[in-house]
Amino acid sequence: MQYPNSHLAKFIDRPNRFIAHCRLIATNEVVVAHVKNTGRTTILQPDVTTSLVRNDNPARKTRYDLVAAKKYNHQWINIDSQAPNQLVKAGLTQNFIKLPGISSIAQVIPEVTYLDSRLDFAGEDSRKRPFFLEVKGVTLANQGVAAFPDAPTVRGLKHVKTLTSAAKAGYLAYLLFVIQMRGNRVVTIDREIFEPLASAIGQAQKNGVHVLAYDCQVTPQLLTLDQPVPFDLNQPFVSDGLPSSIGKK
């Protein structure tokens, strides 16, 4: 996916989950940007280079969206929480994403309710077998290990339990992590942040839920799915120790 009208800026601070103050590199102007990820990301540290997308809609409260940041001034990480679903929809319909047990995907339907959850996708393979798929974006990484989540997620836990119920009922079921960066050798669950999710995914795998991941190529203007990355529930994750960028307001 493309981000038109992007501008490089230096991150200043993040007074709350929804907005950040940044200084445009080209003009030195300080602007307010909407942060398209409300998680407790450690990526946004003072003076980190960011990518802002300008939107001149007069109805908006902010002119910019913050969509990516250059961690440690080295690697671009996309933090647009809406982007993974868009990438996955295209990847499924084009049969770029390879789902275990499915040779070809015939139908993809976004936002489908099953039991008491709204899952990201449902569909059928070429043999008319139905499947459910839930997508989770990953922006947390350290020392070649990507991890989910960046904050406790009761909603994510519910989705995993729903996928488990679907698998028990005979559906094909998938949990797909989109790592919004490159360069990680494995993805796991950060047990220190939310141990119940790790336990639930372990049970889901035992009941036939497939857990897989893809990384992405990221630039200030572009985000594309790249390659499969192994998921290992037993892989330890060590936090980088940086504080959350969200202020106390």
Which amino acid belongs to residue 53?
V
Judge whether 172 lies within some domain.
yes
Q: Is 72 exposed, middle or buried (0-12, 13-18, 19+ CB in 10 A)?
A: exposed
For residues 235 and 186, give the distance between their C-alpha atoms in angstroms, rounded to a whole number: 8
> Is pLDDT above 50 for 108?
yes
> Is pLDDT above 60 for 137?
yes
Residues 140 and 177 in one domain: yes
- As given in the structure block, the two tokens for residue 173 are 């079921």
Buried/exposed code over 212-228 (b: 16+ C-beta within 10 A; e: otherwise): bbbbbebebebbebeee
For residues 205 and 192, give the distance between their C-alpha atoms in angstroms, rounded to a whole number: 20
Note the pLDDT of residue 40: 72
Q: What is the pLDDT of residues 221-243, one digit of tens each?
A: 999 999 999 999 999 999 887 77
| 38 or 82, which is more confident | 82
Residues 114 and 219 in one domain: yes
Q: Which residues span the domain enclosing 147?
A: 83-228
Among candidate residues 45, 57, 49, the one with its CA nearest the CA of residue 7: 49
Residues 19 and 94 in one domain: no
CATH number at residue 143: 3.40.1350.60
Residues 93 and 130 in one domain: yes
Among candidate residues 81, 76, 224, the one with its CA nearest the CA of residue 156: 81
β-strand partners of 71: 75
Residues 46 and 96 in one domain: no
> Is pLDDT above 60 for 113?
yes
Among candidate residues 32, 41, 16, the one with its CA nearest the CA of residue 248: 16
Residues 31 and 128 in one domain: no
Residues 46 and 146 in one domain: no
Domain boundary among 53, 74, 95: 74
Residues 36 and 64 in one domain: yes
Number of domains in the chain: 2
Mean local confidence (pLDDT), 211-215? 98
Q: What is the pLDDT of residues 49-76, one digit of tens each?
A: 999 999 999 999 999 999 999 986 689 9
For residues 219 and 168, give the distance between their C-alpha atoms in angstroms, rounded to a whole number: 40
233 HSE (CA, 13 A, CB side): 17
Contact 42, 245 (CB under 8 A): yes
Judge whether 233 lies within some domain.
no
Q: Is 128 exposed, middle or buried (0-12, 13-18, 19+ CB in 10 A)?
A: exposed
Least confident of 31-45, 136-150, 184-198: 31-45
Domain boundary among 74, 108, 126: 74
Mean local confidence (pLDDT), 123-145? 96
Judge whether 242 lies within some domain.
no
Judge whether 101 lies within some domain.
yes
Mean local confidence (pLDDT), 7-28? 97
Judge whether 133 lies within some domain.
yes
Residues 142 and 217 in one domain: yes
- As given in the structure block, the two tokens for residue 54 are 């300008």
Note the pLDDT of residue 42: 84
Judge whether 87 lies within some domain.
yes
- Coil/strand/helix, residue 210: strand
Domain boundary among 30, 46, 74: 74
Check residue 220 and give left, alpha or beta (phi > 0: left; psi -120 to 50: alpha): alpha
Its pTM stands at 0.95
